[in-house]
Structure 1
Amino acid sequence: MFFSKSIKNNPKAYIAFKSKGNPQKISKYQKAYSRIKSLAIIDGAKYREVHGNLNDLDYILHYLYYGVNDSLDIQQSYVSDVFNLEFYKNTYGAENPVLDYVLEGFYKKNQVNILDNGYIDTLETDLFEQYFSNEKSKVEKIVSNSFYIHDKRTLIPYIQRENPIETGRIRVGVFTNDPFENLAPCPYIRLHALFSKLSESEKFTFFMYGMDSFVMMDIDNILRCKLFDVVVVQRILPFLDILREKCQKYGIKLVYETDDDLLGVEKNSPSYEYVNRVSKSIKDFIDASDVITVTTPTLASKFDENKTVIIPNYYVDSVFDIKEDIKKEGKLKLGYYGTLTHSKDLFLIKDVILRLKEKYDFDFEVIGGFNASDNVEEGWFKPIDLPPDNMNFKKFMGWLSETIDWDIAVVPLENSPFNQCKSELKFIELAILGLPGVYSDMCVYNNVVSDGIDGFLASNDEEWIEKIEKLILDESLRKIIRGNALNKVLSDYMIDDRINEWDIVLTK
């Protein structure tokens, strides 16, 4: 159909013609036109680069009737940068994100991108300018009034600011290479549980950055000023060098936190290749750090004693409760749980289990422990499938407490230099789970377990058999060991002591 130039530049007339007088269509397209124009969602020059000569037709009108059929990739080339079309479509199921937003999505408070925290409050002004103006003011308000921040919608714009927000509190940037939304044991125990509690003192504002934040950050534009007073880094990061350099430039106190001797990872470890590749970055960060926090005296010996602080692990009471429903009947069960990298540890007791099975009728259940690639014959143990999200510490420990009905737990651990730096966390967990344990007789456990009092220690097959056999034959002994272990944990491994230790580290 031929339209005169005057009609092509008269939105009301053009829409009326295209809608064939249908009042609902006229209303819909007039609203869409007006709002797209007011929001400046579409860049006219970029739109014309894609569609060429529009034959005098207003570019927004052209979009409404023709450009709307472009692929999302093409539309994104001329739509405002803050409006992520793919995100919008995937989140809200809208085939035409721009039309959906201006007609309905805005009123439903739909986000225009994954970091949008309600930054668009009107359809009458420029989307881009409105977004960043409101983002700036909202981030400032949240930071000024918060003590523990883990929402990416605040964290990412904050770390890319050009000027600090003074809060009158100690600002602590915390970085872990695990996704914060699905916290594994290490960051949950060593960072989240402690700092979320410490934030209640209102002396600090903690900014909790995880891997799920890193992938959205412009790493080259982080920390353009002194946004933190202290930065805590756990273990390893993909941008350690940049973070260290920025912290040194602005006089930010550096704390390196680790529960493993990463620089001592053995060549047969699955993580050796990666750690070896970034070992210089780790060393440089450790050397630059003002404080190093570790879990055990053995691990502390790997670092400069003048700046190393031992903060032992503890009972995380926010994750699982002391188990009260202790098994009283049914078939005897021994058990083991661990990550999928412990085949060497389990093989330490394979012959022990087989010899005990010749004398006693029991099941030996294993959760984790072996990788599928280990090709392990399962005749000597019963595998228990790991649950979904098994690296989520809170979910896993809740599942574990509900799932297992063991009488005895075994904790074999290869006596290697790397393993010697591990902590007694398994002793703590087993005490809370109500399980008497037999542990490898090495520094990880023999500095904690009183043999025959709150657990048993074994260094060879004969000792493993002897100690396990004692627990198999004596139910009252199992109860005594269990009770003593729990008393030790409740006496020596509570979170409040660790919180006080971190308070000192962050304030001195």
Structure 2
Amino acid sequence: MKAPSAAPAIRRRMLVICPFPIGVAAGQRLKYEQYFDRWRANGYDIDVSSFMDEAMWAVVYEKGRYAQKVAGTLRGHMRRLRDILRIARYDVVYVFMWVTPFGTSLFERLTRRLAKRLVLDVEDNVLLGQSLPKEHNPNPIVRWLKGPGKIRHLIAKADHVITSSPFLNDFCLGINENRAATYISSSIDTDRFAPSGPKPADRPITIGWTGTFSSMPFLALLDDVFLKLAARRTFRLRVIGNFDYALPGVDLEIVRWTKEKEVEDLQELDIGVYPLPINDWVLGKSGLKAIQYMAFGLPCVATEVGTTPLLITHDQNGLLVRTDEEWLAALERLIDDAALRARLGGAARAAAVAHYSLQAVGDDYDRVLSSVFKDKR
């Protein structure tokens, strides 16, 4: 990773305000978190304040456990009260998504007022209060409590906004008072996220998907496709996540995601799938799953919507589809043709290293951080 030859003479203090503990959520781990060492080398002393602590993270996606979840939410708000009292000591505050998950925009307004400089990092149109599919949050009271005005206020008032897609970037440019928004792609440590060696010839072709409980409805979009495919081809479906999933009639393997085995579990795949609904909401998606598959040298089949056509060139480094029939045909092609898997996977790996590695994307973050000190409010 590129870094200065000597530590800068002037050290700056940065407070990172984020939803999840360090090292557990893909949206944080494979975004800004992996640049902390780079930023420290560039002269920043970094403190991280996550709303959710490890105890709450351990239960947040489990059914029930309401007492622990309420207690965790209260602890999170206490941390935010502490943050409000110390924000003025920092040279820059870096907010990922929101300051608090529920309620009015009070904490966001206080953070903006007290921060000398504020960088906001946003992803997905849900954070803008746009139309969120109900399956992500079926409780209307909870949807209301999430306060869509929170994120919009920060977008308008931030010194600079970092976005997860060009479509989201255009939206933020339209309401940011400084006209300062930059699309920065999700990125991957391509030295760590790398292809494995040859796989045993007698194992079934493994199609894989990785994600969390919140993205499980996207996986379910392919239930019918997998059932039809199972009647026509032999394959194994590997689902790597933090939830239970069943699909009778399909050779299914459920793998609980862990940070320690993440690379090993993904290296077992032969094909990666990235299904998405075709609607305006997904225009804010960064395409992180596709980039992960590409880094491992896997041919990725993805829904042709939003950011995916920017990442994948059809039949060159992956396959783009829109209908169930196209999904079925694409997966059959890849199962039947080892040479096609190798060609697409090799091109995908090359694209990931060239465009989505830490080395390729790190300079974009450096430019944003430099800009907020040059263009002081």
TM-score category of the 2 structures, normalised to the smaller one: 0.7 to 0.9
Instruction: Compute the RMSD of aligned alpha carbons.
Output: 2.8
Aligned to 2:169: 300
Q: Secondary structure at the match of 2:307?
A: helix
Shift of 1:215: 6.0
What CA deviation, in whole Å up to 9, does each residue of 1:405-457 have, x standing for no partner? 33222221112322221012112211222321211121221222111111011
Q: Equivalents in 2 of 1:503, 1:478: separation in Å?
A: 36
Q: Equivalents in 2 of 1:398, 1:269: separation in Å?
A: 29
The amino acid of 1:301's aligned partner reads D
Q: What are structure 2's unaligned runs of at least 5 residues?
A: 1-6, 54-74, 372-377
**Larger RCO, structures 1/2 (Cα 8 Å, 6+ apart):** 2
Aligned to 1:42: none
Aligned to 2:38: 197
Residues 459/266 of structure 1: CA separation in 2 closer, same or farther (3 Å cut): same
> Which 10-residue stretch deviates more, 287-296 or 259-268?
259-268
Q: Secondary structure at the match of 1:309?
A: strand
TM-score normalized by structure 1? 0.59
Q: Is 1:378 paired with 2:248?
A: yes
Q: Is 1:362 paired with 2:221?
A: no
Q: Is 1:187 paired with 2:28?
A: yes
Give the one of 235, 245, 253 matched to 2:97. 235
Q: Equivalents in 2 of 1:260, 1:267: separation in Å?
A: 12
Contact (CA 8 Å) 2:87, 2:93: kept in 1 or not? no
Aligned to 1:425: 288
Residues 358/237 of structure 1: CA separation in 2 closer, same or farther (3 Å cut): same
Aligned to 1:470: 333
Aligned to 2:65: none
Contact (CA 8 Å) 1:223, 1:246: kept in 2 or not? no
Q: Equivalents in 1 of 2:108, 2:276: separation in Å?
A: 35
Q: Secondary structure at the match of 1:447?
A: helix
Q: Equivalents in 2 of 1:436, 1:309: separation in Å?
A: 29
The amino acid of 1:368's aligned partner reads G
Q: What are structure 1's unaligned runs of at least 5 residues?
A: 1-146, 148-166
Residues 425/334 of structure 1: CA separation in 2 closer, same or farther (3 Å cut): same
Aligned to 2:148: 279
Shift of 1:488: 0.6
Contact (CA 8 Å) 2:238, 2:255: kept in 1 or not? no
Residues 270/461 of structure 1: CA separation in 2 closer, same or farther (3 Å cut): closer
Q: Secondary structure at the match of 2:249?
A: coil
| Mapping 1:224-373, distance limit 5 Å | 226-238=88-100, 241-242=106-107, 244-245=109-110, 247-249=112-114, 252-261=116-125, 262=127, 263-266=129-132, 268-271=134-137, 273-274=141-142, 276-277=144-145, 278-305=147-174, 306-317=179-190, 320-330=192-202, 331-368=204-241
Contact (CA 8 Å) 1:471, 1:478: kept in 2 or not? yes
Contact (CA 8 Å) 2:169, 2:183: kept in 1 or not? yes
Shift of 1:247: 4.5
Give the one of 209, 220, 228 matched to 2:49. 209
Shift of 1:377: 4.5
Residues 333/502 of structure 1: CA separation in 2 closer, same or farther (3 Å cut): closer
Aligned to 2:361: 498
Q: Equivalents in 1 of 2:31, 2:143: separation in Å?
A: 20
* Bigger radius of gyration among the two: 1
Residues 226/479 of structure 1: CA separation in 2 closer, same or farther (3 Å cut): same
Contact (CA 8 Å) 1:198, 1:499: kept in 2 or not? no
Aligned to 2:11: 169
Q: Secondary structure at the match of 1:304?
A: helix
What CA deviation, in whole Å up to 9, does each residue of 1:313-371 have, x standing for no partner? 111247x3412314241222222222123443234323322222232222223333865
What CA deviation, in whole Å up to 9, does each residue of 1:110-138 have, x standing for no partner? xxxxxxxxxxxxxxxxxxxxxxxxxxxxx
